């Protein structure tokens, strides 16, 4: 099946810093989503971004489908950004309905 | 819309007991997924329904697990009998497979089997 690799696995920032999280995937995709799992365990949708660039406030994401990667940018980080960020993809071939998740990036933002 | 609703939020049960987890998908969505999250295996798909029909249950760990979707607005995941290794967070998610297939997750049920 499709492989999803996220980097870095862990990231510690001071409040106000910027960061870039990366997601590499091994095959073509119909769907790519970024989620934030907050300290209470909720999976919050950040972006639905199978290709192109989107921005939402301090967060933006870019997916280059032809090169099989996506980037999530967090600017001016806040303590509330802490949690695990997951990339999940839906393979465009075979079983193309399920999301395959990466292992996530654990982000800690210190005050 | 209230989003995907799961119940209960937390469940503690004794080994051997039956456990039933419940999910109400987002109205209008025609696909429903049950995922399980553990430290060891991360987030993994257990079963996928499309238009209330189970399409892929290859992720269901064993016969002790079963899932139903009697109508478009309700699904259950049952474990009978439960074992300590079933302890995990179980998520339900729904999407509309007719274009934009963005999936939305419920808040999860944290299951502890003692």
pLDDT by residue (tens digit) across B29-87?
999 999 999 999 999 999 999 999 999 899 998 899 999 999 999 999 999 999 999 99
Q: Looking at CA atoms only, how far is residue B64 from chain A in angstroms?
A: 23
Q: Which residue of B45, B89, B102 is in closest CB contact with A48? A: B102
Quote the pLDDT of residue A30.
87
Q: Kindly state whether B89 is in contact with chain A, defined as any CB-CB distance less than 8 angstroms.
A: yes
The reply to whether residue A31 touches residue B102, judged by beta carbons under 8 angstroms, is yes
Residue with more model confidence, A57 or B99: A57
Quote the pLDDT of residue B106.
97
Residue with more model confidence, A92 or A56: A56
Tokens of B30: 């025609």
The band of B5, judged by pLDDT with boundaries at 50, 70 and 90, is very high
Quote the pLDDT of residue A65.
94
| pLDDT reading at B91 higher than 70 | yes
Identify the H or E element spanning B54.
strand B53-56
- Residue of B102, B109, B110 to mutate, testing the A interface (most A Cβ within 10 Å of its Cβ): B102
The reply to whether residue B108 touches residue A43, judged by beta carbons under 8 angstroms, is yes
The band of A91, judged by pLDDT with boundaries at 50, 70 and 90, is confident
Which three-class secondary structure state does DSSP give residue A81?
helix
A99 vs B contacts (CB less than 8 Å):
33, 45, 93, 103
Quote the pLDDT of residue B92.
98
| Residue pair B86/B79 in contact by the 8 Å Cβ criterion | yes
> Which residues neighbour B58 within 8 Å (Cβ) at sequence distance 6 or greater?
none
Identify the H or E element spanning A6.
strand A4-7
Q: Considering only alpha carbons, which residue of chain A is nearest residue B101?
A: A31
Identify the H or E element spanning B79.
strand B74-79
Quote the pLDDT of residue A95.
55
A31 vs B contacts (CB less than 8 Å):
101-102
The reply to whether residue A97 touches residue B31, judged by beta carbons under 8 angstroms, is yes
- Paired sense of beta strands B10-13 and B109-113, if any: parallel
**A and B: number of Cβ contacts within 8 A:** 46
Q: Which residues 56-95 of chain A have a CB within 8 Å of chain B?
A: 86, 88, 90, 95
Quote the pLDDT of residue A104.
96
Quote the pLDDT of residue B1.
65
What would the pLDDT profile of A45-67 be if each residue is shown by its tens digit?
A: 999 999 999 999 999 999 999 99
A33 vs B contacts (CB less than 8 Å):
102-103
Quote the pLDDT of residue B114.
97
Burial A5-36 (b: 16+ CB within 10 A, else e): ebeeeebebeeeeebebebebeeebebbbbbb
Quote the pLDDT of residue B99.
66
Rounded to 5 degrees, φ, ψ at B80 are -150, 115
């Amino acid at each position: 099946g499709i492989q999803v690799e996220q980097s870095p696995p862990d990231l510690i920032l001071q409040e106000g810093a910027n960061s870039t999280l990366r997601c590499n995937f091994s095959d073509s995709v119909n769907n790519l989503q970024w989620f934030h799992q907050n300290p209470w365990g909720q999976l919050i949708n950040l972006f639905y971004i199978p290709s192109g660039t989107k921005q939402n406030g301090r967060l933006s994401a870019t997916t280059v489908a032809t090169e099989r990667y996506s980037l999530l940018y967090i600017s001016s980080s806040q303590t509330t950004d802490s949690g695990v960020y997951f990339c999940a993809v839906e393979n465009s071939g075979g079983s193309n309905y399920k999301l395959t998740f990466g292992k996530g990036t654990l982000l800690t933002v210190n005050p | 819309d209230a989003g995907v609703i799961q119940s209960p939020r937390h469940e503690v049960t004794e080994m051997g007991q039956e456990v039933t987890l419940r999910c109400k998908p987002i109205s209008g969505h025609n696909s429903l997924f049950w995922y399980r999250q553990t430290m060891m295996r991360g987030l993994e798909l257990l079963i996928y329904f499309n238009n209330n029909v189970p399409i892929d249950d290859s992720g269901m760990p064993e016969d002790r697990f079963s899932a139903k979707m009697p109508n478009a607005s309700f699904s259950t995941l049952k474990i009978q009998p439960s074992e300590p290794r079933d302890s995990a967070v179980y998520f339900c998610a729904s999407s509309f497979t007719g274009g934009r297939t963005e999936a939305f997750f419920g808040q999860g049920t944290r299951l502890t089997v003692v």
